[in-house]
């Protein structure tokens, strides 16, 4: 009887392990399919000029039709070959202001949220745990608090290999009471800027950048040479 019980426990454990492996494989596959990547080659001469002048490689991400307005990531230590990638994993937060040149400061705890989910900002300014509902292609926010700025962060893997979630957008105008619909777009802007810092809000870029659209593809190869961007 004891041997039979042990055998059943072993079978159950093996079945449970297989189920976890299947789920893990499916998750990895889904994330891999959704991952977007930008590969950037920089000419030696340009690297020396940029680094000697304290310029940083900057990335910004698109939300709907709004202008790029937050430095998603900036890097002072770039090289001849660089890779930057991201997956559709978002957080939403509230902030009290939008001001160009200032680092984003959240006024609420951020909430991890997916497309097709809705979070509510209650009368105390606290964001609820997201629930399914709303525009299936967007991050949905029901504002019951007062006029406030709403921001979005996204997970990325930087050229330094670090995985972080940092702001990609803050509404320049306050969002009034009611529903806000924020649609992430698979477009990124890449440029070099003097002493630029991650999570800094801005209204214009000081140097010429390149916008890449990965809506219909997963990666792109770029070259920066003689202060000019090109697609390889």
Three-class secondary structure assignment of 100-114: CCCECCCCCCCEEEC
Same domain as 49, residue 26:
no
Same domain as 49, residue 12:
no
* pLDDT class of 206 with cuts at 50, 70, 90: confident
* Whole-structure pTM value: 0.85
Same domain as 136, residue 72:
yes
Per-residue pLDDT tens digits for 131-175: 999 999 999 999 999 999 999 999 999 999 999 999 999 999 999
Q: In Å, what is the CA distance from 59 to each residue of 69, 141, 156? A: 11, 25, 11
Count of domains observed in the chain: 2
Same domain as 43, residue 14:
no
Q: Are 36 and 59 in contact (CB under 8 A)?
A: no
Per-residue model confidence (pLDDT) at position 27: 40
Same domain as 85, residue 145:
yes
Per-residue pLDDT tens digits for 54-65: 999 999 999 999
Per-residue pLDDT tens digits for 190-199: 999 999 999 9
Same domain as 179, residue 87:
yes
pLDDT of 6 > 80? The answer is: no
CA distance between the termini of the chain: 68
Range of the domain at 58: 36-231
Same domain as 88, residue 20:
no
């Amino acid at each position: 009887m004891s041997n039979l019980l042990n055998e059943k426990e072993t079978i159950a454990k093996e079945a449970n392990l297989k189920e976890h492996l299947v789920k893990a494989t499916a998750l990895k596959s889904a994330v891999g399919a959704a991952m977007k990547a930008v590969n950037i080659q920089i000419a030696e001469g340009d690297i020396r000029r940029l680094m000697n002048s304290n310029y940083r490689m900057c990335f910004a991400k698109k939300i709907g039709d709004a202008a790029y307005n937050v430095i998603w990531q900036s890097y002072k230590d770039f090289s001849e070959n660089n890779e930057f990638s991201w997956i559709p994993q978002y957080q939403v937060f509230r902030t009290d202001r939008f001001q160009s040149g200032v680092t984003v400061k959240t006024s609420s705890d951020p909430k991890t949220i997916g497309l097709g989910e809705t979070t509510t900002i209650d009368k105390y300014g606290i964001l609820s745990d997201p629930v399914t509902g709303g525009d299936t292609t967007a991050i949905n926010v029901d504002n019951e608090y007062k006029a406030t700025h709403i921001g979005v962060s996204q997970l990325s893997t930087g050229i330094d290999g670090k995985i972080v979630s940092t702001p990609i957008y803050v509404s320049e105008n306050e969002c009034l009471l009611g529903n806000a619909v924020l649609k992430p777009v698979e477009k990124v802007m890449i440029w070099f800027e003097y002493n630029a810092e991650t999570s800094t809000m801005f209204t214009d870029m000081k140097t010429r950048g390149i916008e890449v659209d990965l809506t219909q593809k997963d990666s792109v190869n770029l070259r920066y040479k003689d202060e000019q961007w090109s697609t390889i």
